[in-house]
Structure formats: C-alpha cells, structure tokens
Amino acid sequence: MKAVVYSGAYDVAVREVPDPRIEDPQDVIIQVTTTNICGSDLHMYEGRTNVEQGKVLGHENMGVVAEAGPAVKNFRPGDRVSVPFNVACGTCFNCTHGWTSFCTRTNPTEGVDGGAYGYASMGPYAGGQAEYLRVPFADFNLLALPQGTEYERDFTMLSDIFPTAYFGTDLAGVSPGDTVVVYGAGPVGLLAVHSAWLRGAARVFCVDMHGDRLSIAEKLGATPVSIAAGDPAEQVLDSTRGAGADCGVEAVGYQAHEPSGQERPELVLDWLVRSVRPTGRLGVIGVYLPQDPGAATQSAKDGRIGFDFGRLFQKGQALGTGQCPVKRYNEKLRDLIIAGRATPSAIVSHELPLTEAPAAYAKFDKRVDGYTKVILHPAAA
C-alpha cells in the first residue's frame, strides 16, 4: 500500500510499504477514507523528536473496516469508524478510570504511558496516512459512525483535535457565562473557541500572530487578539476592565516563539497566567516535552520551562495538562455534529490526495497563507 513515511528532518515521502495485517484476534484493519495532518506532526517533521526514519505517520484517522480479527464482536467489514489517536487496552487501571491517553499497556517506551499511531515515543504503531491501518483492541478503541459519507469532514476531527480542544475547555472549567481566552489560532485553538461556545461561554478571546488564522477565529465568533498589536495579556486585561478572563486554554506548545522566530517555551504560559483572573483554571493542551534536544537553551533542552509559577501560585490558579483521552468525548461530540450543533469542519483549508502529502507538510510547516488544516484522502487519485 501507499503510505506517508518520515524520511528525516523536513522530509516526508509517499512510499510503498507492506499492507498491515491482523496480528492479534482483537485487531481490525481499516481502509482509511480520511486522515489529517496535525500540528503535532510538524514537531516530527522539523526533526524535533526522536521518531525513526521509515515510520508511517498519521494519528488522525477514520475509515471503513476492511477486516476484523476473530475476537472482535462489535465491528464487521463495511462499518464506518473513527479511530481515536490513543491506542488503549481498555483493561488497565488508567483505561478503566477513563484515562485512555495514559494506558499503561500499549506503550513499551520506558517511563511513558499512552500509545498513539504514527508518533515519536508513543509505541510501535504505524500511522494512518496510508491506505490501510491496523487498530489494536478494536472493540474498545473504535467509535461507530453512521454509514455513508455524510459529515466526513466533520467526523475526521473526532480522532484528535475536536476532543483535544474540548478537553482543553474541560480542563479550564469553561462554564456558562464565562469569558475565555484561547492562546493559538491553529486548528486546536480554533476548535477550542468552538468548544467554549458549546459549553456556554459568554465571550471568547483568541490570541495569535497570524492574521489569516485570526480571521477564522473571528468567523467562529471570537474576539481576535493580535500579538502584532502588542502584549496580548495586556490587551485581554484592558478588555476586561483589568479583571482578566475567567479561564484560559493554551493551544500552542513548546515551540512557542516571538514574532521574530526566537523560541521561548515559557512565553504563552506567562501570558496565560497573567491574563486569567485569580482562581481561574488553565487548560494546557499544547505539547511540552521532558527532553527537547533542539531547544534554544540548556534548561529548555532538559524540559525545564521557566514560566511564572510564582504568579500562578499567588493567583491560586489551577493548571490542567496532558494528552486528551479521546474516548471520553468523541461519542457526544459525534452526536453534536449529527444534531447540527457542532461543525468542526469549519477549519478545513485543504482536501488532497495522499500523494500531495509531502508538499502539504512543507506548506503547513511554513504556515503558508491559508494552510490551516489539511485532510488527505488515500483513495483519491
């Protein structure tokens, strides 16, 4: 089959690789109908992880069951499914307590809990930027979708970024009437804006440096805050009579940087702490790593992020972090899509065949105007 493989920094290629096969009776093979390029794929693309060459990328996958192992009870060939990016066993302590993102069985990497498809340090699982994908523990992991092709562009956001964005607003405790500040108008930040409205927010600020992305945030109902116009925390404080937002979501991560390009991994965390009121909750869903050999400073290389923890303590804020347990949210978010209340497809900028992936990675990585969210269709010519 054809698949997108990591071939070194700034280099992905579409190659022929062996078809996946059933390795365990609980496995399913799906024919991938849609698979997305994620902002977190860019950390690998830029050579900022230890991902091995030849790895098939892609953790945002959906498709149709092609083959089901003999122990699979709930899915049959032809069923349309969404695949959470978490590879979870369903029976360990963390899985049974709702934390599929911290499954203790599916990731053999020393000291790391939680598996994922096609990702550095997240286990041996091939990604789904390919024609076919093997899904372990299929009965537990797969989400059933209505048959057909309706809502394909919305449902493809259920594998990661819509639940992840919603998780950010859950960690932040967004409640009816709240004023919310979201840092980052990339795909996850934009869907955090969308999620904040779903949870009843009264007002949502969205902070970014890219005008094209801020204009999408504005279309989604957010008040855009441009870093180019000055300190964003100051702007949020000015707009709330000095009080700050009730809660905040961080959707940027460890490659946060000044408009000049200078990386400062503490930059957005500092703004977040300053722009949220005392005792407000902060949901940090941007990725941070315990080791980052490509970082600009020694402390950042060691994963030590020197943000304003003193002010966070003084303000009595609560900080929630980590990867999203997709299964906690994807079923209800699917039903909001079907009910017409949620339209995460609003952020899709490009729909391309798999063969266009290398060019799409390059353009998405450069944040070329208009490259917001790329979805790939492996069956398209």
What is the footprint of Zn ion within residues 50-79 (CB under 5 A)? 60
Q: Which stretch binds Zn ion (CB under 5 A): 85-93, 193-201, 269-277, 326-334?
A: 85-93
Torsion of CA 20, 23, 28, 33, to 10 degrees: -10
- Using H for helix, E for strand and C for coil, what is the string for 54-119? CCECCCEEEEEEEEECCCCCCCCCCCEEEECCEECCCCCHHHHCCCHHHCCCCCCCCCCCCEECCC
The Cα–Cα gap between 274 and 11 comes to 38
**Which residue reads 């000095």 in tokens?**
242
336 with 343: CB under 8 angstroms? Answer: no
**Least distance from Zn ion to the Cβ atom of residue 227, Å:** 24
The closest of 308, 297, 301, 271 to 286, measured between CA atoms, is 271
Residue from 22, 42, 92, 338 touching Zn ion (CB under 5 A): that is 92
Give the 3-state DSSP-derived string for 138-207, with helices as H, strands as E and coil as C.
Answer: HHHHCEECCCCCCCHHHHHHHHCHHHHHHHHHHHCCCCCCCEEEEECCCHHHHHHHHHHHHCCCCEEEEE
Cα distance between residue 120 and residue 44, in whole Å? 7
Residues 281-300 that bind Zn ion (CB under 5 A): none
Q: Report angle CA 289, 324, 91 to the nearest 5 degrees.
A: 110
Instruction: Give the residue at shortest CB distance from Zn ion.
Output: 38
Cα Rg of the chain (Å, integer):
20
Residue nearer to Zn ion on the CB measure, 38 or 204: 38
Of 40 and 240, nearer to Zn ion (C-beta) is 40
Comparison of 27 and 160: residue with beta carbon closer to Zn ion: 160
Cα 214 to Cα 204: distance, rounded to the nearest angstrom: 12
Q: Is 116 in the site for Zn ion (CB under 5 A)?
A: no
Q: Is 89 in the site for Zn ion (CB under 5 A)?
A: yes
Residue whose CB is less far from Zn ion, 119 or 151: 119
d(CA 189, CA 213): 10
Binding mask 238-267 for Zn ion (x = CB under 5 A): ------------------------------
Judged by CB under 5 A, the number of residues near Zn ion is: 10
Q: Which of 14, 51, 95, 295 binds Zn ion (CB under 5 A)?
A: 95
Query: Site for Zn ion (CB under 5 A): which residue of 27, 154, 160, 208?
Result: 160
Is residue 181 involved in binding Zn ion (CB under 5 A)?
no
- Would you count residue 103 as binding Zn ion (CB under 5 A)? yes
Site for Zn ion in 14-53 (CB under 5 A): 38, 40
Residue 115 or 248 with smaller CB distance to Zn ion? 115
Is residue 4 at the binding interface for Zn ion, with CB under 5 A as the rule?
no
Closest separation between CB of residue 267 and Zn ion, Å? 22
Select from 7-15, 152-160, 215-223, 278-286 the region that touches Zn ion (CB under 5 A).
152-160
Q: What angle do CA 110, 361, 373 make, to 5 degrees?
A: 95
Q: How far is the CB of 138 from Zn ion (least distance, A)?
A: 14
Q: Rounded to the nearest whole angstrom, what is the least distance from the CB of residue 89 to Zn ion in the complex?
A: 3
Burial of 335 (0-12, 13-18, 19+ CB in 10 A): exposed
If the CB atoms of residues 69 and 118 are measured against Zn ion, the closer one turns out to be: 118
In angstroms, what is the minimal distance from the CB of 22 to Zn ion? Answer: 20
Which positions touch Zn ion (CB under 5 A)? 38, 40, 60, 88-89, 92, 95, 103, 105, 160
